[in-house]
Amino acid sequence: MTPSEPPPLPPGKISPQPLQYASPVQPNASAAWRQGKLLLAGRVVELPDACIRCNAPAVKRFRKDVYWHEPWLYALVIPGILIYAILAMVLRKKATYSCGLCAEHAKRRGTGLVVMWILVAIGVAGVVGGIAGVNGAFGPGQQDLSLVAVLTGFLFLIIAVGVGLVNVPLLRPKKIDEQYARYTGCSDAFLRNFPEAAPSPYTGDPRTNVER
C-alpha cells in the first residue's frame, strides 16, 4: 500500500460509492422551443438572426427586459393602486430576450413610435392648454372651447397608448417562472425554426417534452 492509497476496509464492508446528484440545468442562451402559438425559452435568450414577424433575415436587433406577475395581482387595484404597485414590484419576475426585425418591420415599428409621440405631444398640449383656458387664461367666454380641448387632448392620449401597445412591445410575456418564459408575438414562420415542445402546459424542463 502506497502512502496515497486509503487503508483497506474491514472484511464484509462495501466500498462507499459517490453520491449521484442531479446536475442543475445550465442556462443556454440559444435554447428555445415552440409550444403552439407560444415561444418557450430560458429567462435569458438570444433568438436567431431572423425577423420575429416574418422570418426574413434580420437587419436590426433589440435587447429587451420584460416583467410578468400573476394575473390575480390586478385585483389589488380595486382596494388601492399603491398596494398593487408595491406587491407587483416585489412579486414580478424578469426575463431578457434579444431578437431581430427585418427592414420592413423595423420601419413599421419606427413609424408607429413616431406617430405615438406625435399623438402624445398633441394630447398633452390639448390638456394643458384646455385647463389653462378653463381657468380663464384666454379671456372670458373661452371656457366651453377649452373644455373641448381638454377632452380632445385626453382622447389623443388614449389613442397614443393604443398605438404604443401595438408598436412598442416586440415579444409579450405570457408567463415567466423560475427558469423559463413564454412569449407571444412571433409569427408561425419564425416559430418553425424551433423544435416542438409538448402542447400541454409544461411542469419542468421542456427538453423532456420535445417530440423526436
The DSSP H or E segment spanning 151 is helix 143-167
CB–CB of 104/141 below 8 Å?
A: no
Query: Which pLDDT belongs to residue 203?
Result: 47
pTM: 0.70
* DSSP tag of 13: P
Bridge partners of residue 101, in order along the sequence: 60
Query: Is 67 inside a domain boundary?
Result: yes
Query: Which pLDDT belongs to residue 26?
Result: 39
Cell 409579450 maps to which residue?
A: 172
Query: Which pLDDT belongs to residue 15?
Result: 44
Query: Is 210 inside a domain boundary?
Result: no
Query: Is 20 inside a domain boundary?
Result: no
Grid cell at residue 190: 419564425
Dist. CA 201–CA 33, nearest whole Å = 13
Domain that holds residue 109: 32-205
Query: Which pLDDT belongs to residue 187?
Result: 95
Query: Which pLDDT belongs to residue 132?
Result: 84
Query: Which pLDDT belongs to residue 90?
Result: 94
Query: Which pLDDT belongs to residue 11?
Result: 53
Query: Is 133 inside a domain boundary?
Result: yes
Query: Which pLDDT belongs to residue 69?
Result: 93
* 34: nearest Cα among 170, 154, 185: 185
Query: Which pLDDT belongs to residue 138?
Result: 67
What are the residues whose beta carbons fall under 8 Å from the beta carbon of 56, sequence distance 6 or more? 50, 102, 104
Domain count, the chain: 1
Query: Is 49 inside a domain boundary?
Result: yes
pLDDT in tens, the chain (212 residues): 554 444 554 554 444 443 333 333 334 555 899 999 999 999 999 999 999 999 999 999 999 999 999 999 989 888 888 998 999 999 999 999 999 999 999 999 999 999 999 999 999 999 998 888 877 766 666 677 888 888 999 999 999 999 988 888 899 999 999 999 999 999 999 999 999 986 544 445 555 454 43
